[in-house]
Structure 1
Amino acid sequence: MRVLFFIQGLTVAASRYRVLQYLPLLKQAGIDVDVVEFPKGIAGWARCLGLVRQTDLVFVQRKRPPLLIIMLLKGMGKKIVYDFDDAIMFKNSLSSHPYSLRRKLSFRRMLRFADLVIAGNEFLRSEAMKYSRNIHVLPTPIDIERYSPKSYGPRDTIHIGWIGDHGSIHYMESYKEVWEELGRRFKNVSLAIICDVFIETQDIPLVRRVWSSEKEVEYLQDLDIGVMPLFDDLWSQGKCGFKIIQYMGVGLPVVCTPVGINRDAVEPGTNGFWAETMSEWVEKLTVLTENAALREKMGRAGRERMLERYTVQACAPLMIEWLKGVGKRDGGYGKSSPS
């Protein structure tokens, strides 16, 4: 069996964690793979036809091909698997209103032609159920051989940290009053941002960590508390909580906005806290800043939670089963019962 993966990009987090880290495990299971970055234009797709002819399954990650290409793939008898981990049927949190007819129609078209749909969380699954029935939920996992727990012990400075990209830095900007209030309360607290862009702060020292795949785990291990602020909107409901999974992977306690999958990943009082208002954010971060033993206890609990639910080693057998299953199925895409 051969699968051709069309991905967003080799350095894009969703591609690395939802496709590329699975490849060695797929190969061990007897699945041959080819990986191509998403083509640009019809000419780009035309150059991929040789690979398409040789494959059994076409796995499309997040983006949607033009209708002409989808029809061509189906005309060639190829099964299509579609994977997505964002609320791509809506506009993002920076938009004044979330609804987009263009996005909705593009999403609907993709799902109606897909033989298998893999969604990153239950909210995304519920949106996909409007247009398809063969849908599975698969979180964005991490590799436990790569994410080892941090070292706990006395520290001169407590690092409250966030990891992300330029597309979500606005969440950190919107919660700036929280970070600066913590800086005014505690002279031994800093804000660490692991990203390709940064915010500006006045009352709290800012540690700038330029993200790289080689250094991200090391940077995470240097944190003491992980944060994931969000807005309560449709776009945020589609977030798959990957920051939280990364924090738990290295043994960090987490403070997050209780939106979407965040409510499942973080159990208040066990591996972190929920915070809805600015005052709650300050309160919960204050509790963790003042209590090193609690940080360690919650961090270890988060690590155990991650090991139970969010590892590529646990998710790979599901991915393999689904891919092999749709590869064997004859005809009738999008018709089987939901998982």
Structure 2
Amino acid sequence: MKLSIGLAYFSISILTIFSFLIPKKKKYDLIIFPYAQKGSNGYTVRISCYFEYLEKDNIKYYVCDIFSESYILKELSKNKSSHYFLYQQIIWKRICQILKAKNYKSAFVQRGLFPYYPDYKNASLEKLLRRLNSNITIDFWDSVWCHSNSKLLKITTENCDKISVVNNYIKEYFDKFSTKKIIFPIGIDFSKYKVKSSYSTKGKITLFYTGLPGNVEHFLNVMKNILKRLNDFINFKLIIVSRARYLIHGIDIEYHDFDESTFFEIMANSDIGIYAVEDNDEMRGKMAMKVLDYMSSGLPCIATPIGITPYAVNMENIYFATSEQEWIDLLILLSENEKLRKNIGINGRNTVEKNHSIRNSYILFKKIINEPS
């Protein structure tokens, strides 16, 4: 298996050396290389949400899909030989896709061209793409340097014209490279959200959180002492939408499996959305989709001020908590003040409508891909 990947690297080197012999006819507009694959959130909010707009604008585009996210995760759950068979399929497929780039005016690459392969170090695919296309944007929406080789990132940025990022923290990391940086916020499809219509409470205050099992575990580790102390002041229930089933003694936690037909209603019917994470490099580079979910539903939110939309303003459309005591004080404040919950919730919804609509995000996306190198 490794021999096949080595042969692919050799083929890439030959193609790169003789790329000047490959005829380049820019007949089409945009070629897109997803890192996250079909079925994943990263594919939806960063790639496929723009398809209908591209089609309406008669922009001729091609998406270089590899496999579905479910297939890739299934293969990665098997033994090591299955992993290498998957990597072998990915690299040969990507070589063929990159050769198509010679016919496109612009290329949009999500993170990198060899997804999932842990030993990728020399950015050979990015170098080949550079020879075939002269207007390349590479998009980052988290702290990839926490999991990637810094040398690989440097070489990658040297082989593109623009870097798009979701927040200032990621931009600051890439500022050490000379490539042009553009902040490109995530677009949200508001049509699927149920907007909160009432801010009055019904008995217990309901706190809301959603996430994958690993995220739920980290969240509860951060919030455990806060929730126990909060029990002395207010009567509350924590609603969590997740496959996880972690419990905290003495805390009323109600779990729901994720189901899109009920998720948005459960969220909108809650009283306060909460987002709590540890302060580290990885979390600072994320874009907290949970917070965008809360705001999109008009749900007032208290959050750790890390990895949040750059349009969040403390005490205007969100509340930031940086210590246990602040968390407790703010949870008590919001739980006892319906007017404040309503103001924060409505302001949050207005903020995301203005700054995170898919339409506005697409306008910026089109500007990025059309901007000359």
Name the TM-score, length of structure 2 as normaliser.
Answer: 0.76
Quick one: structure 1 residues 78 and 210, their matched pair in 2 at CA, closer, same or farther if it must change by over 3 Å?
farther
**Residue 188 of structure 2 aligns with which residue?**
142
Q: Is the 1:64–1:110 Cα contact (8 Å) retained in structure 2?
A: no
Aligned residues: 315
Q: Is the 1:27–1:33 Cα contact (8 Å) retained in structure 2?
A: no
CA apart distance, 1:80: 3.3
Q: In the alignment, does 2:305 pair up with 1:277?
A: no
What are the within-5 Å matches in structure 2 for residues 96-175 of structure 1?
Answer: 103-152=149-198, 153-169=200-216, 170-175=218-223
Q: In the alignment, does 2:258 pair up with 1:230?
A: no
CA apart distance, 1:312: 1.3
Residue identity opposite 1:304 in structure 2: N
Q: Is the 2:66–2:90 Cα contact (8 Å) retained in structure 1?
A: no
CA apart distance, 1:215: 4.5
CA apart distance, 1:37: 4.1
Instruction: Name the SS of the counterpart of 1:240 in structure 2.
Output: coil
**Residue 62 of structure 2 aligns with which residue?**
33
Q: Is the 1:6–1:58 Cα contact (8 Å) retained in structure 2?
A: no
Question: Which structure exhibits the higher relative contact order, with contacts defined as CA atoms closer than 8 Å and separated by 6 or more residues?
Answer: 1
**Residue 93 of structure 2 aligns with which residue?**
47
**Residue 338 of structure 2 aligns with which residue?**
292
Quick one: structure 1 residues 222 and 256, their matched pair in 2 at CA, closer, same or farther if it must change by over 3 Å?
same
Aligned equivalents of 2:261 and 2:141: distance in 1?
Answer: 23
Aligned equivalents of 2:305 and 2:87: distance in 1?
Answer: 39
Residue identity opposite 2:364 in structure 1: L
Quick one: structure 1 residues 73 and 214, their matched pair in 2 at CA, closer, same or farther if it must change by over 3 Å?
farther
CA apart distance, 1:299: 0.5
CA apart distance, 1:63: 4.5
Q: Is the 1:251–1:303 Cα contact (8 Å) retained in structure 2?
A: yes
Q: Is the 2:211–2:241 Cα contact (8 Å) retained in structure 1?
A: yes
Give unpaired runs (5+ residues) of structure 1: 92-101, 330-339
Q: Is the 2:34–2:43 Cα contact (8 Å) retained in structure 1?
A: no
Q: In the alignment, does 2:81 pair up with 1:81?
A: no
Quick one: structure 1 residues 77 and 308, their matched pair in 2 at CA, closer, same or farther if it must change by over 3 Å?
closer
Percent sequence identity over aligned pairs:
21
Aligned equivalents of 1:22 and 1:59: distance in 2?
Answer: 12
Aligned equivalents of 2:112 and 2:179: distance in 1?
Answer: 20
Residue identity opposite 2:125 in structure 1: I
Q: Is the 1:15–1:61 Cα contact (8 Å) retained in structure 2?
A: no
Quick one: structure 1 residues 110 and 219, their matched pair in 2 at CA, closer, same or farther if it must change by over 3 Å?
farther
Q: Indicate the RMSD between aligned Cα atoms, in angstroms.
A: 2.5
Quick one: structure 1 residues 198 and 309, their matched pair in 2 at CA, closer, same or farther if it must change by over 3 Å?
farther
Cα displacement string for residues 35-76 of structure 1 (whole angstroms, at most 9, x for unaligned residues): 514784243231244443434244332355342322332333
- Per mean C-alpha deviation after superposition, the further-off stretch among 3-12 and 239-248 is 3-12
Residue identity opposite 2:144 in structure 1: I
**Residue 16 of structure 1 aligns with which residue?**
44
Q: In the alignment, does 2:193 pair up with 1:193?
A: no
Cα displacement string for residues 169-195 of structure 1 (whole angstroms, at most 9, x for unaligned residues): 3133222121233344333x1112223
Pick the aligned partner of 1:178 from 212, 223, 226. Answer: 226
Q: In the alignment, does 2:90 pair up with 1:62?
A: no
- Per mean C-alpha deviation after superposition, the further-off stretch among 152-161 and 245-254 is 152-161
Q: Is the 1:86–1:239 Cα contact (8 Å) retained in structure 2?
A: yes
CA apart distance, 1:158: 2.3
**Residue 18 of structure 2 aligns with which residue?**
none
Instruction: Name the SS of the counterpart of 1:36 in structure 2.
Output: coil
Return the structure number with greater helix share.
2
Q: Is the 1:241–1:265 Cα contact (8 Å) retained in structure 2?
A: no
**Residue 205 of structure 1 aligns with which residue?**
252
CA apart distance, 1:167: 4.7
